[in-house]
Chains A and B, each alone.
Chain A
Amino acid sequence: SQQGEEDPQALSIQEGENATMNCSYKTSINNLQWYRQNSGRGLVHLILIRSNEREKHSGRLRVTLDTSKKSSSLLITASRAADTASYFCASYSGAGSYQLTFGKGTKLSVIP
């Protein structure tokens, strides 16, 4: 079953604009992770936010976590055409779980 669900499923923006993707999850988590996948490639880890953190930055990425609402958001600022990819949130299913469960992803298209 899906632990995380991203919203929207697809997003198209102009280069230079900001892109925001949201993720909701169902069970308690140790951390929540975001991954990127270029078409036909493997996934690449972007950022991990722990359950006791509310916000984290990495370059043009900003991730927030609201454990009371079981939700997270990924913001990409000043988007570039090279940011075109699918973005997934993921979390472990429960305490002691080795199973990292992914949502269905948001497909981001950045138009030059």
Chain B
Amino acid sequence: SQTIHQWPATLVQPVGSPLSLECTVEGTSNPNLYWYRQAAGRGLQLLFYSVGIGQISSEVPQNLSASRPQDRQFILSSKKLLLSDSGFYLCAWSGDSTGELFFGEGSRLTVL
């Protein structure tokens, strides 16, 4: 069966520090991969998605970036965090372009 792992689960970072969130998927190949952000009490904002290794599409211009160094690995990064980067970050995968998404448990980022 397929599983998705996302880490770290929580982190507190100072403004201006770097960020790296990692997500890996097991049990499937060539998944579509997604990073969403959820502000407190709000809906989900799509940040990045990837349909293959090295293929990243950005939905929101900001100081975040994403990379897909391996087929089932998706990384969200920042060189310098802003206060507005605080939120709940969710990684997800899907098997095709119109199907359901399977989410990780999320990473809660607090920037102080």
Binding site for B on A (CB under 8 A): 2, 30-31, 33, 35, 40-45, 48, 88, 90, 92, 96-105
Q: A45: which B residues are within 8 A, CB to CB?
A: 100-102
Number of A-B contacts (CB under 8 A): 55
Q: A40-B106, A88-B43 are in contact. Are A100 and B51 (CB under 8 A)?
A: no
Q: Report which of A33, A35, A42, A99 forms a contact with B59, defined as CB distance below 8 A.
A: A99
Q: A43: which B residues are within 8 A, CB to CB?
A: 44, 90, 92, 101, 103
Cα distance A82–B90 in the bound complex, in angstroms: 23
User: Cβ of B98 and Cβ of A92 under 8 Å apart?
Assistant: yes
Q: B109: which A residues are within 8 A, CB to CB?
A: none
B57 located at the interface, meaning its Cβ lies under 8 Å from any Cβ of chain A in the complex: yes
Q: B97: which A residues are within 8 A, CB to CB?
A: 92, 96-98
Q: Report which of A31, A41, A88, A101 forms a contact with B106, defined as CB distance below 8 A.
A: A41
Cα distance A29–B20 in the bound complex, in angstroms: 34
Nearest neighbor of A2 in chain B, beta-carbon distance = B43
Nearest neighbor of A44 in chain B, beta-carbon distance = B103
Binding site for A on B (CB under 8 A): 6, 32, 34, 36, 42-44, 46, 49, 51, 57, 59, 88, 90, 92, 94, 97-106, 108
Nearest neighbor of B101 in chain A, beta-carbon distance = A100
Q: Could you tell me the distance in whole angstroms from the C-beta of A2 to the nearest C-beta in chain B?
A: 7
Q: B49: which A residues are within 8 A, CB to CB?
A: 98-99
Cα distance A48–B24 in the bound complex, in angstroms: 25
Q: List 19 A-B contacts (CB under 8 A).
A: A30-B98, A40-B106, A41-B105, A42-B92, A42-B105, A42-B106, A43-B90, A43-B92, A45-B100, A48-B100, A92-B98, A97-B97, A98-B49, A98-B57, A98-B97, A100-B46, A100-B94, A102-B43, A105-B43
User: Cβ of A104 and Cβ of B46 under 8 Å apart?
Assistant: no
Known contacts A41-B106, A42-B104, A99-B49; can you find 15 more A-B pairs with CB under 8 A? A30-B98, A41-B105, A43-B44, A43-B103, A45-B100, A45-B102, A92-B98, A98-B32, A99-B46, A100-B34, A100-B46, A101-B46, A102-B43, A104-B42, A104-B43
